[in-house]
Structure 1
Amino acid sequence: MPEQNLSTNLGKALSIDFVEQFGQRMKTLQELLGIQRTLPLSAGTLIKTYTSSVTLSGEEVAPGALIPLSEVKLEEGPSHELTWDKKRKAVAMEDVQKYGFESAVNLSDAKFLNEVQKGIRTKLLKQLATGTGKAEGAGLQQVMAKNWAAVTAAFDEDDVEIVSFINPFDAGEYLAQANVTVQTAFGMTYLEGFLNNRVVFMSADIPQGMVYTTAANNLVVAYADMTQGAIGQAFDFSKDSTGLIGVTHDINKQRLTAETITAYGVVLFAERLDGVIVGTIAPEA
């Protein structure tokens, strides 16, 4: 007689837990940044960024006269191809024996999930560094004020919300004198409502002395939808409701390892590079 309550689908349960954690963390990041646009696309899609400029005609128009044209220029910036990111990690039999199957897989899955997050945010920060808007000021507060003004002018909207990314060492001295609450999301420390920003993220991946600032509505999430097409039929992926990532757990008997395999195509990017201001902190006098 088979043992009662035998766990036979633990790998599936672990996969579901992984995708739900990732989906929730991504949702939290989107809410913090105020991202309204998420684009489910096919893998291989070329995502284009651009810069824009408007030259208005300054002429007065006489009654009945032809209205002169104002010029709007859109210039293409660097493109991003939406490609699959495929990752695999394995837990050896010795670790399963030492920690237990579920604990061993969960411990390594937590680190694995952090690496997936890091890959997504690193691409965003690298793109923000190529922003075409520039500002400079003495000290963090002055630079962030100038960045705020430049972004507000670039989008010229009543309800523009500002988000910034800074190095934690640049924030350290200021935060030591400020009564603020620091929190963490998607592997980055952040502050809400800091220096007129909706949210300010701190990451050591940002060079010290640099501040990246843009509008919340300039940020877009594009992803290859794991819930569509034949992928779900061909592979035993667990997927959350967003379809951002697919995860499966498997046993490699030839190597005696418990493996986690993920596949995802996610790009978090700024659509307008002229709406990204790269501020430089000069030494204070």
Structure 2
Amino acid sequence: MSIAGGVAHAPSRVTRTAILGAIGLIFAIPIVAMVEFTLRKGLDGGHDFSRWTTLFESGFAGPYRSVLTALGNSLALAIGTVAIVLLLLVPTMLLVHIRFPQLRRALEFICILPITIPAIVLVVGLAPVYAVMARLFGSGVWTLAFAYGITVLPFAYRAIQSNIDGVDVKTLTEAARTLGASWLSVLVHVLVPNLRRGILAGAFIAVAVVLGEFTIASLLNRINLQTALVVVSKTDPYTAVILSLLALIFAFGLLLLIGKLGSGPRVRSVKGTT
């Protein structure tokens, strides 16, 4: 039931502002502390931007070149993980929702299960598999995409499933099939556009998890962004914090981009219409 165009029992504007302000403050405190740490001049006291300017003037050369390589590895892993998860998960979820609804609980259990398994236990189970993969296909960093696909599965599933529950997928599919559309056309031209927000949310969560993952890459001796930052922090903790801040800025920009893509085109109002 709505009241005056709003939702019944919805919090007031002041309450919403206070809640968002408190949450923003919780997230802002550690970020501000990181920025202040990178600006310290050391034992002399005071603050300056010398470490920031030195890092950018050097062009990430020397000991920091490995960070650029690790960032490229993480971005490639993020793309590979998103492709693996979405190309396998989205069609499977739609097939179960449309044709085999009795299997939804089993699929949900399988997709949520990885969140209950610690990363170190997951690595112990995957180590023999990766030993075989290394002999057959090599031990490149790209192989981590399969392990990351398992770790992001619970988050991507919930994001996409919530969107599927809000769309009448069966009616859209039956209407498209009645008009002669193939299953591929139904998936690409009918269902995916209606599930755009859930798919983009799942993709962003997958990217965020991959960019912040350390345990699996470290135990499997692969180089990604987080393992490279740990190596840099042992020699220059200030630069490691600067690079962490840049990674946060990149993730925030990616969130804004995905949010813009997920909002879709706005419908303009026409004067004189009712």
TM-score, reference length from structure 2: 0.27
| Greater RCO (Cα-Cα under 8 Å, separation 6 or more) | 1
Q: From the two aligned structures, give the one with the greater strand fraction.
A: 1
